Structure 1
Amino acid sequence: MQLQPDRDFLVQLAHTKMPYGKYKDRFLIDLPEYYVVWYHNKGFPKGKLGDMLETVYTLKVNGLEELIRTIKKQYPK
């Protein structure tokens, strides 16, 4: 179990957009909370996108979205 978040993962998360669906091209951190909760209940997709959506869920539930927005500003693409 990893206790510290992987910096590269968080930087990539800050710059990743939803690749499909109703919210295509919206940054993952900017997805509506109800949509991320829906994924949580339905099951996150397999792979890196699922890991990122699960992280977004955890951040949103705990009110920590601003961390990713700050990372996005500090590490522009």
Structure 2
Amino acid sequence: MFDKTILLEIVRMKMPFGKYAGTLICDLPVSYLEWFQRKGFPQGRLGVLLETTYEIKLNGLQEIITQLKKMK
């Protein structure tokens, strides 16, 4: 079963490290998410958030993110 809180965390949580430290997970560029996809997403909750964001963007579902950002 899908954890709905993941979507909320994507629009609230900031990237904790790296080139895009401080950037909201939902605002990370696809190229950065693709790099993680090739190298491996981090373990734990952060990895789940990054991988979910990648899948949303990859499948053209960014409207989900746009709507959630309006609600937060």
Q: Same fold by TM (over 0.5)?
A: yes
- The whole-number CA distance in structure 1 between the counterparts of 2:40 and 2:48 is 11
TM-score scaled to structure 2, two decimals? 0.89
Which of residues 22, 25, 29 is equivalent to 1:25? 22
Segments of 5+ residues of structure 2 without an aligned counterpart are: none
Aligned twin of 1:8:
5
TM-superposed deviation, 1:72: 2.2
Segments of 5+ residues of structure 1 without an aligned counterpart are: none
Which range is displaced more, 54-63 or 7-16?
Answer: 7-16
Which letter maps to 2:20? Y
TM-superposed deviation, 1:33: 0.6
Is residue 69 of structure 2 the alignment partner of residue 69 of structure 1? Answer: no
**RMSD of aligned alpha carbons:** 1.2
Identity %: 44
Q: Which has the higher helix share?
A: 2
What secondary structure is seen at the aligned counterpart in 2 of 1:35? Answer: helix
Aligned twin of 2:53:
56
Structure 1 or 2, whichever has the larger Rg, is 1
TM-score scaled to structure 1, two decimals? 0.84
